[in-house]
């Protein structure tokens, strides 16, 4: 798997978009998800970097139903409108990922 696929797999395995969440939230700011991705990438060795737009394109490959639109910001600026990724439910995201990587995954 490439770094974006690995990152998305870990999110789907954990079942949460952000580390502080307790359950699947369908929306996250593009900036915060990209920051999480770059942190994850550094842990993989830090040699692979992607621009925010390339990350979005790669994310779209593993979750074709993701939508980028203006929405409410994550903390610490709640209520502000910024660019967000809006995802389908967790089960659907997992199925889309399995189709993208062409393998079935035991998510339990």
CB 33 within 8 A of CB 4: no
DSSP 3-state of 43:
helix
Structural domains of the chain, with CATH: 3-101 (1.10.10)
- pLDDT confidence of residue 70: 86
Q: Where on the phi/psi map is residue 100: left (φ > 0), alpha (ψ -120 to 50), or beta?
A: alpha
pLDDT, averaged per 10 consecutive residues of the chain (108 residues), comes to 92 91 88 92 75 92 94 63 91 96 92
Q: Angle at Cα 56 formed by Cα 45 and Cα 70, nearest 5°?
A: 130
- pLDDT confidence of residue 37: 93
């Amino acid at each position: 798997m490439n770094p974006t696929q690995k990152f998305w797999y870990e999110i789907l395995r954990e079942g949460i978009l952000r580390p502080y969440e307790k359950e699947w939230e369908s929306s996250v700011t593009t900036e915060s998800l990209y920051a999480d991705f770059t942190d994850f990438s550094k842990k993989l060795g830090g040699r692979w970097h992607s621009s925010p737009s390339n990350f979005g394109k790669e994310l779209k490959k593993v979750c074709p139903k993701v939508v980028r639109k203006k929405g409410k910001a994550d903390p610490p600026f709640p209520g502000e409108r910024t660019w967000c990724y809006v995802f389908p439910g967790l089960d659907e995201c997992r199925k889309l990922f399995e189709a993208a990587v062409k393998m079935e995954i035991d998510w339990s």
